[in-house]
Amino acid sequence: MRSVLKTDSMGYIKKMIEQEIPGVYVLSVMIGKNIVEDTENGFFSDVNEQVSMVCNQLAQDPKLKGGYNAMGFSQGAQFLRAVAQRCPSPPMKNLISVGGQHQGVYGLPRCPGESSKICDMIREALNKEAYLGWFQKHLVQAQYWHDPLNDDLYKKYSRFLADINQERAVNETYKKNLQQLEKFVMVKFLQDSVVDPVDTEWFGFLKTGQAKETETLQESVLYKEDRLGLAAMDKAGKLVFLATEGDHLQFKEEWFKANLLPYLH
């Protein structure tokens, strides 16, 4: 089986998968011509354009024609879910979300990596102007910023997250395509200090109208109305919820091999 991975630094994971699954073809998706551009595009880019670029890249790879498994790390996970919903060819078999933010975030307590100045700048911008046109088109984190205190603004102006989460209308194609997955695996990090709220890693979020109480996926309108097909997938045993000790994207190699590798065969 083929595997497609999306994260900021994939060398170690790619090598481990290739060692554990002899003969596997692993494509590490990069947005840009090099690591520097890929890193910059993780902060400043149009996510919808990124998704289209990845869709084209996958469609043009003959080794993926028969289908592939996808693994996304952090924000790469919701971007790959958009690929599954928008681009059914070649078919995605399993989607593994490692610390993904499927209901977005409402806080940026700590950025991964060493970009503290960029992190502070982005946090200030998100708190004030997340739904303005320029930010929605050019600031990646604004495109999955989910403000529970301004739900109407979020649903109206969120160009990426509100679309893939069926907030404005139900796109039956998105729903049909996502349900083609054999498994949708979501990994939550129990001591995550980067993602706020951490419940978003299991598709939960803050209850609308306040910023303290959270709700699970199963308690949400998205699930109860089955706007994205997640309830049907859950009943069919296609949703897998995993948790591991550690901060954001911090996991033991043994845990990865035991819990995630089986979905890549």
Q: Active-site residue 147, yes or no?
A: no
Q: Quick one: pLDDT at residue 7?
A: 44
pTM, entire model:
0.90
CA distance 46 to 152: 22
Q: What is the DSSP string of 163-188?
A: HHTTSSS--HHHHHHHTT-SEEEEEE
Q: Quick one: pLDDT at residue 11?
A: 81
pLDDT, averaged per 10 consecutive residues of the chain (265 residues), comes to 49 90 90 58 78 95 96 94 98 98 86 59 73 88 92 95 97 98 98 94 96 95 98 98 94 94 94
Q: Quick one: pLDDT at residue 6?
A: 43
CA distance 249 to 190: 10
**What residue ranges define each of the domains in the chain, with the CATH number in brackets?**
10-107+171-261 (3.40.50.1820)
The residue among 101, 112, 107 whose CA lies nearest residue 76 is: 101
CA distances 83 to 48, 87, 164, Å, are: 10, 5, 10
46, 192, 199, 220: which one is catalytic?
Answer: 192
SS3 for 211-244 is: CCCEECHHHCHHHHCCCCCHHHHHHCCCEEEEEE
133: tokens are 């046109």
Q: Quick one: pLDDT at residue 3?
A: 46
CA distance 179 to 183: 9
Q: Quick one: pLDDT at residue 211?
A: 85
Q: Active-site residue 138, yes or no?
A: no
Q: Quick one: pLDDT at residue 91?
A: 97
38, 45, 46, 248: which one is catalytic?
Answer: 248
How many residues are given for the chain? 265
Q: Would you call 123 exposed, middle or buried from its count of C-beta atoms within 10 A (0-12, 13-18, 19+)? A: middle
3, 38, 46, 74: which one is catalytic?
Answer: 74
Q: Quick one: pLDDT at residue 129?
A: 84
Widest distance between CA atoms in the chain: 50
